[in-house]
Amino acid sequence: MKSTIKLLAVALLVLPAQAAFAQNTIDSCGTEITSSGTYLVTQDLINTSGNCISIVGATNVTLDCQGYRLTGTGSDKGIYVTNTSNGVVVRNCDVYSFQCGIEYRGDDGVVEYNKLVDNRNGIYLGQGYRNDVRWNTGNDNLFGMYIDLSYNNQIYENTFHRSDYGLYSNRAAGNYFIGNQLNLNNAQGIWFGFQSDDNFLWYNTANLNNLDGVYIQSGAVGNNFYKNVLNRNGSRGIVDTAGDATQNTYEDNVCKNNGTEPSNAAGACK
């Protein structure tokens, strides 16, 4: 009898733990996630209207598409994370033909191992704080990644090729862009807009873009460009529209075999 009671007690202890780690499955678009947990996509999904998967006001969510493909019609969002969500992980999703492949507005999350193809924005990070965006690939989007009003994020080792812009930053400050590959884009590999301030761009590669490797709009100041490789672009390796290298810091950037000059700012390239 005592052995039976002990076994029953152990079973009762184990059951809640199993429930806490229960996995949820997603087999259709139009899914809205509002509570914590792990959510697994179990098949390719076709979206006809609205957002395919939305994460709204939830914390500690992991969305894993397991390599399945989400296909849209050129509008709406493949995956949408609202700015009321925290600690959301989005991984292993192949997202094709949406207005935004992944629109992420939450904080303290991770976007990793996703593939974004033929979207307007492959990844749109808007009003996001302290997120890691890493190991994603994007081809044939308008913007490989668009970051707007987002601070203290780490964007590293992503590959965004054959878009109009590989990486487009607007009003985004204090971010780290490290080891990204931004090649073969129709305009610039990296475009930094007004109030994109105090960012760190280290060890990125922007080669063979039709215009410039890096373009910095006047009013983007305090950025640190270190050991980036910016070769064989149609125009210049680096364009700083302030016309000099005093607004931002440049060190050991390599700009070779570009269409005109390495840079319009003296000392920006070695």
Cα gap 128→134, rounded to integer Å: 15
Q: How many residues in the chain? A: 270
Find all residues with CB under 8 Å of 234, minimum gap 6, and list them. 209, 210, 211, 212, 258, 259
pTM across the whole model: 0.91
Domain residue ranges in the chain: 2-251
CATH number at 2-251? 2.160.20.10
Per-residue tens of pLDDT for the chain, all 270 residues = 434 333 334 344 444 443 444 689 999 999 999 999 999 999 999 999 999 999 999 999 999 999 999 999 999 999 999 999 999 999 999 999 999 999 999 999 999 999 999 999 999 999 999 999 999 999 999 999 999 999 999 999 999 999 999 999 999 999 999 999 999 999 999 999 989 999 999 999 999 999 999 999 988 999 999 999 999 999 999 999 977 678 899 999 999 999 988 999 889 998
Cα gap 188→167, rounded to integer Å: 8
Q: Rg of the chain's alpha carbons, rounded to an integer?
A: 21
Between the two ends of the chain, the Cα-to-Cα distance in Å is: 81
H helix or E strand, kind and range, residue 13: helix 2-20
The counts of H helices and E strands in the chain are 1, 27
Written as one string, the DSSP assignment of 15-66 is HHHHHHT-EEEE-SSSEEE-SSEEEEE-S-EE--SS-SEEE-S-EEEEEE-T
Q: Which of 190, 241, 179, 228 is nearest to 212 (CA)?
A: 190
* β-bridge mates for residue 63, sequence order: 39, 90
